Amino acid sequence: MLDNAGMDGTGRLLAAVLCCLALGGTALLAVPTAEAQCGGVEKARPAKKVAPRPPLAIGDSVMLLALPNLARKGFNVDARGCRQFEEGLKLMIRKKREKRLPRLVVMALGADAGISGKQVNRAKKIMGPKRKLGLVVPLETGGGESNDARVVRQAGRRDPRRVKVLDWPRYSRGHRNWFQPDHLHLTFEGAAAYARLMAKLIPLADGGKKKGKGKRR
């Protein structure tokens, strides 16, 4: 169930996405004005239990329309328009301090600012050696890729045991109906596909163990 669903949750999320699309033509506005239009944090709770502690999906405006889809897959979802990687790291740190950091965290960021190798290493340090970090390869406005995509793919090659890469640009290639006119934000079909890709990591949320076998910590 979506949190804070004062009006219809899907309608509110669609409005947030449209607001983010509108910002595409307002790059010259003052930073405080742009930030004010990014909207607040949108959350969705998992609709089913896939692990003792549900996996966490952290995203930006690209994820907004997919919140209900991800919740149905079993994710605890936290997204905000204009969110940058640093904000995602702070969320992870807070969850860890509160002892609520799950075995699996999937970060889908990079559309609003760059991703560095140092930031990925910080995310790995926060997660520790026994958790899994999922990283979604980002697209840029217009549908292209930037250095962020290289950084994310490289992180997966360097540490395939701890870092699991979901290649959204390759997965979505040829599916123009999945995207809004900016070739970045999602349509309802794209939101469903986005959630299907992220759900590939769900087995890692419980340490890759089947129910009833092995011990959980």
Each residue of 123-178: pLDDT tens digit? 999 999 999 999 999 999 999 999 999 999 999 999 999 999 999 999 999 999 99
pLDDT value, residue 112: 85
Q: Is 9-206 assigned to CATH 3.40.50.720?
A: no
Q: What is the CA radius of gyration of the chain?
A: 17
Across residues 69-76, what is the average pLDDT? 98
- Confidence (pTM): 0.83
Alpha-carbon distance of 79 to 59, in angstroms, equals: 4
- 8 A C-beta contact, residue 137 and residue 166: yes
Task: Give me the residues paired with residue 207 across strands.
Answer: none
What are the residue boundaries of the structural domains of the chain, listed by start?
9-206
Alpha-carbon distance of 187 to 179, in angstroms, equals: 5
Query: Using one digit for the tens of pLDDT, what is the confidence trace for 109-137?
Result: 998 889 999 999 999 999 999 999 999 99
* Nearest C-alpha neighbor of 55 from the set 92, 91, 97, 106: 106
* Percentage with pLDDT > 90 across the chain: 75
3-state secondary structure of 109: coil
pLDDT value, residue 17: 53
Alpha-carbon distance of 90 to 108, in angstroms, equals: 15
Alpha-carbon distance of 103 to 121, in angstroms, equals: 17
Tokens of 199: 């759900």
For residue 43, the surrounding DSSP H or E stretch is strand 42-44
Query: Using one digit for the tens of pLDDT, what is the confidence trace for 7-43?
Result: 355 555 555 555 555 444 433 233 344 444 688 999 9
Per-residue three-class SS string for the chain = CECCCCCCHHHHHHHHHHHHHHHCCCCCCCHHHHHHCCCCCEEECCCCCCCCCCCEEEECHHHHHHHHHHHHHCCEEEECCCCCHHHHHHHHHHHHHCCCCCCEEEEECCCCCCCCHHHHHHHHHHHCCCCEEEEECCCCCCCCCCHHHHHHHHHHHHCCCCEEEECHHHHCCCCHHHECCCCCCECHHHHHHHHHHHHHHHHHHHCCCCCCCCCCC
Q: Chain-centre distance of CA 212, in angstroms?
A: 29
